[in-house]
């Protein structure tokens, strides 16, 4: 995005890419439909960025979700709003957008250099490992947009962190965001239910009560509803050593109704039969209830109803940062000027997920990455203008 803005202003731009091809993480995001942004009202949208709102807001104000949709349209990519309010390309694919975008960059004179991996600094130069050997370059201005630490096989391996720290730039340790969690299932439970979806439930944490679905994995849980609670759950684990999601397995029924339906069941019946006949819960939902509800609670209809309406799902630890959809941590905002240049390294600009902010899934990640790329490009243009 920065290359597009700069080249459209007549600046000579070279885009260095470590991988053999451009946009691999964008293509990965496209496997699930390429959620570009979200259609909710803007004040709600901006609030999703939490503590980073004061710093991200100017960039997002200058490139709102509506602006992003118009930008996609200018590339010939129509978008639509899904039932959840998320915005997708009509084709539900990333490749048409990426092809059109690269075509635009080429038409604007952007030079692409793939298999060029930044290896840090050599004095006042940038050092690259390239197919034809090491290279040193000294541009008038540089934007590094190197991502965080998730999906390192796609290029965002956080190798840059020590190089900036050596120059005095504060970089907070990366932590997983929008991630799954370990739950330490018994082997028999994991063997039988790994891959099963738990649908039409709500989950409650410090993030609030949200509806959705999640999947049981061999190691724990993952999926959109878990991701929505991941920041709160991760922070609770760091603070307290563990976290609990309270899962309502029967969100469409009142506590009183569930208790009454359970009370009508014969106490001589097995727990699974009483549960199935009174509530319809079976399969993975029934198995979770059997695993997580104590025998003494099962015998007491009001207590059992309360447990089914707030099933305590223990979360032991986040999955590794390499598996996370996104990350928290990165370059401290105190190191970043309003124009997205680094205070300690004039002429070096940053954008995207390498800065310390996080957001839920739902289009917020891509939108902020594109918005900060545009903001950094505007900062570079102002710097270049000052130098002439």
All structural domains of the chain: 2-176+325-387 (3.50.50.60), 181-318 (no CATH)
Query: Strand pairing partners for 127?
Result: 136
Please tell me the predicted confidence (pLDDT) of residue 166: 96
Question: 280 in the Ramachandran plot: left (φ > 0), alpha (ψ -120 to 50) or beta?
Answer: left
pLDDT over 70, % of the chain: 100
pLDDT of 388 above 80:
no
| pLDDT for residue 69 | 98
Query: What is the C-alpha to C-alpha distance for residues 149 and 117, in angstroms, rounded to an integer?
Result: 16
Backbone φ and ψ for 128, nearest 5 degrees, come out as -125, 145
pLDDT at 121: 96
Surface-to-core class of residue 188, CB atoms within 10 Å of its CB (0-12 exposed, 13-18 middle, 19+ buried):
exposed
Q: Mean of the pLDDT values across residues 62-86?
A: 97
What is the tens place of the pLDDT at every residue in 297-330? Answer: 999 999 999 999 999 999 999 999 999 999 999 9
User: Could you report the per-residue pLDDT of 339-369, keeping only the tens digit for each?
Assistant: 999 999 999 999 999 999 999 999 999 999 9
Instruction: Give the tens place of pLDDT for each residue, 258-277.
Output: 999 999 999 899 999 999 99
| Section 276-294 average pLDDT | 97
Considering the entire predicted model, what is its pTM?
0.92
> CA 7, CA 69: separation in Å to the nearest integer?
21
Under the banding of pLDDT at 50, 70 and 90, the label for residue 247 is very high
- Residues 159-208: tens digit of each pLDDT: 999 999 999 999 999 999 999 999 999 999 999 999 999 999 999 999 99
User: Contact 55/333 with Cβ under 8 angstroms?
Assistant: yes
Query: How high is the pLDDT of residue 274?
Result: 95
Q: Residues 217-225: what's their mean pLDDT?
A: 96
> Average pLDDT of the chain?
96
- In whole angstroms, what is the distance from residue 231 CA to residue 324 CA? 12
pLDDT tens readout for residues 120-153: 999 999 999 999 999 999 999 999 999 999 999 9
Whether 387 has a pLDDT exceeding 90, the answer reads no
Written as one string, the DSSP assignment of 158-170 is: -TTHHHHHHTT--
Q: Mean of the pLDDT values across residues 221-247?
A: 97
pLDDT value for 175: 97
């Amino acid at each position: 995005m920065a290359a597009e803005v700069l080249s459209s202003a007549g600046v000579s731009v070279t885009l260095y890419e470590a991988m053999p091809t451009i946009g691999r993480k964008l293509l990965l995001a496209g496997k699930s439909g390429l959620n570009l942004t979200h259609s909710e009202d803007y004040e709600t949208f901006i609030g999703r960025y939490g503590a980073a709102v004061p710093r991200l807001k100017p960039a997002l104000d200058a490139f709102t979700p509506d602006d992003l949709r118009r930008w996609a349209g200018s590339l010939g990519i129509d978008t639509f709003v899904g039932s959840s309010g998320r915005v997708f390309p009509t084709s539900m694919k990333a490749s048409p957008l990426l092809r059109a975008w690269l075509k635009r960059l080429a038409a604007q004179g952007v030079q692409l250099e793939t298999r060029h991996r930044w290896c840090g600094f050599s004095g006042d130069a940038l050092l690259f490992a390239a197919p034809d050997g090491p290279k040193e370059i000294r541009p008038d201005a540089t934007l590094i947009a190197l991502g965080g630490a998730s999906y390192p096989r796609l290029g965002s391996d956080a190798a840059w962190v020590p190089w900036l720290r050596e120059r005095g730039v504060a970089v907070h340790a990366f932590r997983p965001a929008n991630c799954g969690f370990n739950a330490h299932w018994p082997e028999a439970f994991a063997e039988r239910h790994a891959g099963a979806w738990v649908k039409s439930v709500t989950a409650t944490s410090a993030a609030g009560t949200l509806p959705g679905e999640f999947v049981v994995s061999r190691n724990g849980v993952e999926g959109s509803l878990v991701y929505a609670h991941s920041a709160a759950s991760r922070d609770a684990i760091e603070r307290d050593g563990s976290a609990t999601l309270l899962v309502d397995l029967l969100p469409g029924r009142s506590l009183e109704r569930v208790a009454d339906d359970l009370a009508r069941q014969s106490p001589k019946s097995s727990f699974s039969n009483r549960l199935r006949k009174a509530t319809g819960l079976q399969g993975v939902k029934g198995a979770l209830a059997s695993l997580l509800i104590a025998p003494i609670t099962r015998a007491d209809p009001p207590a059992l109803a309360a447990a089914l309406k707030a099933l305590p799902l223990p979360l032991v630890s986040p999955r590794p940062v390499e598996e996370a959809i996104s990350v928290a941590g990165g370059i401290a905002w105190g190191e970043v000027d309003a124009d997205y240049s680094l205070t300690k390294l004039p002429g070096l600009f940053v954008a995207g997920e390498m800065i310390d902010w996080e957001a839920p899934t739902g289009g917020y990640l891509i939108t902020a990455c594109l918005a900060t790329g545009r903001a950094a490009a505007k900062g570079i243009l102002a710097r270049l203008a000052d130098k002439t």
